Amino acid sequence: MSDNQQYAIEKERIDFFIDKGFRIKVVEENLEGAFLVLENKEKQEETLHIKHADARKYFSSILIKQQRRENL
């Protein structure tokens, strides 16, 4: 799988859950990437393993937007 394909797949998975009303609850980073725990209003949780650096940047921008909305 190419580098661009891996990024596209990871971005698509993140977008899928965000579009379904999930919010990023926990981010745990290690040498193998980042683990995102997402939660919806019904307290259902999903965990994603994000390996690609650009996908980690992408979810970071979502997390910043999410935090800004909470502080308004």
Render the chain in DSSP notation, one character per residue: --HHHHHHHHHHHHHHHHHTT-EEEEEEEETTEEEEEEE-TT--EEEEEE--HHHHHHHHHHHHHHHHHHT-
How confident is the model at residue 70, as a pLDDT? Answer: 85
Domain that residue 15 falls in: 3-70
Residue pLDDT, tens place only, 20-61:
999 999 999 999 999 999 999 999 999 999 999 999 999 999
pLDDT surpasses 80 at 72: no
How confident is the model at residue 30, as a pLDDT? Answer: 95
Q: What is the pTM of this model?
A: 0.91
How confident is the model at residue 20, as a pLDDT? Answer: 97
φ, ψ for residue 2 (rounded to 5)? -75, 165
Could you give the number of structural domains in the chain?
1
**Model confidence band, residue 1 (pLDDT cutoffs 50, 70, 90):** confident
